[in-house]
Structure 1
Amino acid sequence: MLTNLFSKSRPIGYVVIGLMLLATYILHLLSDLKWLQSPTVVIEKSFLFVVMVFSVLLIQFITVKNYLAVNNLYSLFLYACFLILFPTFYDDAQLIIANLLVLLALRRIISLQTLNEPKIKIFDASLWIFVATLFESWTILYFVMIYLAIIWYVNQDYRNWIIPLIALLTVTILFYTYSLFYNINLVEFWTDKYDVGFNFSYFENVYQNIALSFLATIAVLFTVYQLTNLKSIATNQLTLYKNIVLCFVIGAAIYIITPEKSNGLLVFTFFPLSIIGGNFIANTPIKWVKEAVLATILGVSLLLFLLKL
């Protein structure tokens, strides 16, 4: 059933995924009705849901545009399940916005493989990442992907190496202007943001721990599959999938080193995991195995979501 529903890019598949996210988002908000007391907060929550939906659609755009999957919705479905598995993400406006900005940057980084307008893409990707650091500081680690993409695709032109610094200068000037208006101490702002911490005892209930363990199991399965299948990937696509694996490593690193941890920080691993997982499911020849994987991920995600309400 699930295999047939998401094996092709059909409108009904998008509708089902959208309803899954809307239903779980509303149920999560209804668990604490304080937000209804302020019209401003109601507008903010509505806006954040729109941002999340846009992020999900952006993932499908990146997937299809760069041939990361063959005309299916498996990656989109997995991404939605991961969001449902960690609903603390729904409450964090900073993370929701930072995640969108990172996805916009990854869209430009991944599309560098086409070699069309590389300078514009490098600038855009750098700009999105530097803006994302204002919301989640350790997203600066994605800067590594920009320079690796330059090495892999467009290292002949020395000007490409300077463009990220121009983007940094642009964001610095704009944020400095903003700080003057709102009396922000820039030194304190940045020094407070770049702390490192390895305290993992933040779980509010046992279900958060189970959800993390479940995602870790999925991550190991999907990553081992991807690494063992790199040799079978076409040469022109190999660097692209190395980028996806690197994206997962950076997302995991952000979660590990951020001092104020929450399961919501794992959102930075969802995009690469959903791509790798989508290919794993699509390339599995036995239909009942596909169905079992999809049903297990959906079932566990919904069960843990309901138990955490």
Structure 2
Amino acid sequence: MITSLFRKSTPINYSLVVILLLVFFSLIQFEENSVVSNTLSIVYKISMLTVLIASLFIVNFIAKKNGLTKNSSYPILFFILLLGLFPTIFKSPNLIFANFFLLLAYRRLASLQNLNAIKQKLFDASLWICVAALFHFWCILFLFLVYISIIFHASRDYRNWIIPFVALFTTITIFILVALVFDSSWISYLIETTKTNFQLDYFTNNIQNVALSIYVVLSLYFVFSMVFTLSNKPMILQASYKKMIFGFFIGVIVFLISINKSNAMLVFTFLPLSILCTNNIEYSQNKTYQEIVLSLFILAGFFSYFSQL
């Protein structure tokens, strides 16, 4: 029944997912110490919500436009359920904005499979990743995904290998100029975030530990399911799926090395994981299996979210 509802992309499905996002976001804002107190705060939270909604549609665009999934609503459903696993994301504007710019980068990298305007796409993707790094520095590691994409699609032209450095230099130059004009403390703040922390000692309650455990189990299952079945996918899509797998592991590394660590930092893995989850159930011919997987995912998302309110 659940799989039948989201098997197609319809306005009703989109509305249900957006409503679910609104509920998740709103309940967190009414939590203690997170109450809207003034006009500026309202504008700020509306901006966060707008970016989250835009992120849903970018996820949908990446999955459908590049043929990574069939014509279903599963990608955005999985994306919002993964957000529900770690509700602190809804109180983390830097992570929300950083992930949004990474999604824009993924959009350009995924479209490389048609081999049109390669240099422009590589520059755009690199630039968006550098912008994301201004909100969360270690997102800069996603530049490795750009080079992986170059290896897959355009390694013969040496100029392509230079493009990420051009984007990085452009971003640094503009950022320094803007910071010097408005607030030079932005520079010292960014430098401070370049530190690393490999310890997993940030848990404040057992529910966070449970949520992370659920995430690890789901991730291992869906990622390695794709790894072992990749050779069965259409040849034209294999490079795109490989980029999703690499993107997932880069996101995990960003989480592992970041300072001020929290489960919310796993948001950088949500796009590739959503696509891998969708692919898993779409290509299964067993409807019972599809229903069980989707039901367990929904239960996990709701349980984790409401347990952490």
- TM class by smaller structure: over 0.9
Deviations 1:214-269 (A, max 9, x none): 01000011012101101111222111111110000001111111121111101011
Range moving further from structure 2, 130-139 or 292-301 = 292-301
Q: Distance in 2 between matches of 1:72 and 1:295?
A: 16
Secondary structure, counterpart of 1:151 in structure 2: helix
Return the offset for 1:185: 5.4
Letter in 2 for 1:235: M
Shift of 1:36: 2.2
User: Is the contact between residue 58 and residue 103 of structure 1 (CA under 8 Å) also seen in structure 2?
Assistant: yes
The answer to whether the 8 Å contact 2:193/2:259 transfers is no
Q: Equivalent residue for 1:210?
A: 210
TM-score scaled by length of structure 2? 0.96
Q: Which residue is equivalent to 1:176? A: 176
Deviation at 1:187, TM superposition (A): 6.5
Tell me, which stretches of 5 or more residues in structure 1 are unaligned? Answer: none
Instruction: Name the residue aligned to 2:135.
Output: 135
- Classify the secondary structure of the residue corresponding to 1:103: helix
Deviation at 1:274, TM superposition (A): 0.7
* Distance (whole Å) between structure 2 residues aligned to residue 35 and residue 230 of structure 1: 46
Per the alignment, residue 294 of structure 2 pairs with: 294
User: What residue in structure 2 maps to residue 224 of structure 1?
Assistant: 224
Distance between the aligned counterparts of 2:186 and 2:211, measured in 1?
37
> Please, which moves more after superposition, 158-167 or 286-295?
158-167
Cα pair distance change 1:187/1:134, threshold 3 Å: closer
Q: Is the 8 A contact 2:196 2:259 kept in 1?
A: yes
Kindly indicate whether residue 97 of structure 2 is the aligned counterpart of residue 97 of structure 1. yes
Shift of residue 189, structure 1, vs aligned partner:
3.8
Seq. identity, % = 35
Q: Identify the residue that residue 161 of structure 1 maps to in structure 2.
A: 161
1: distance between equivalents of 2:76 and 2:133? 25
Aligned equivalents of 1:182, 1:152: Cα separation in 2: 41
| Distance (Å, rounded) in 1 between the aligned partners of 2:121 and 2:105 | 9
Do the aligned partners of residues 186 and 296 (structure 1) sit closer, same or farther apart at CA in structure 2, a change above 3 Å counting?
A: closer
Which whole-Å CA distance do the structure 1 matches of 2:265 and 2:190 have between them?
Answer: 19
Counterpart AA for 1:52: L
Match of 1:7 in 2: 7
Query: Secondary structure of 2:134's partner?
Result: coil
In structure 1, the residue matched to 2:284 is 284
2:165, 2:34 → 1: CA distance? 43
Structure 1 residues 89-126: Cα deviation after superposition (integer angstroms, max 9, x where no partner): 00011000000000101111111111111111011011
> In structure 2, how many angstroms separate the alpha carbons of the residues matched to 1:9 and 1:186?
42
Q: CA RMSD in A?
A: 1.4
CA contact (8 A) 2:138 2:194 kept: yes
CA–CA distance in structure 2, aligned partners of residues 308 and 23 of structure 1 = 14
Q: Is the 8 A contact 2:97 2:135 kept in 1?
A: yes
Match of 1:150 in 2: 150
1:18 corresponds to which residue? Answer: 18
Range that drifts further, 198-207 or 262-271: 198-207
**Equivalent residues, number:** 309
Which residue of the partner structure matches residue 198 of structure 1? Answer: 198
Structure 2, unaligned stretches of length 5 or more? none
- Tell me, yes or no, if structure 1 residue 270 matches structure 2 residue 241: no
Confirm or deny: 8 A CA contact 2:179 2:187 kept in the other structure: no
Return the offset for 1:34: 4.8
SS in 2 for 1:35: coil
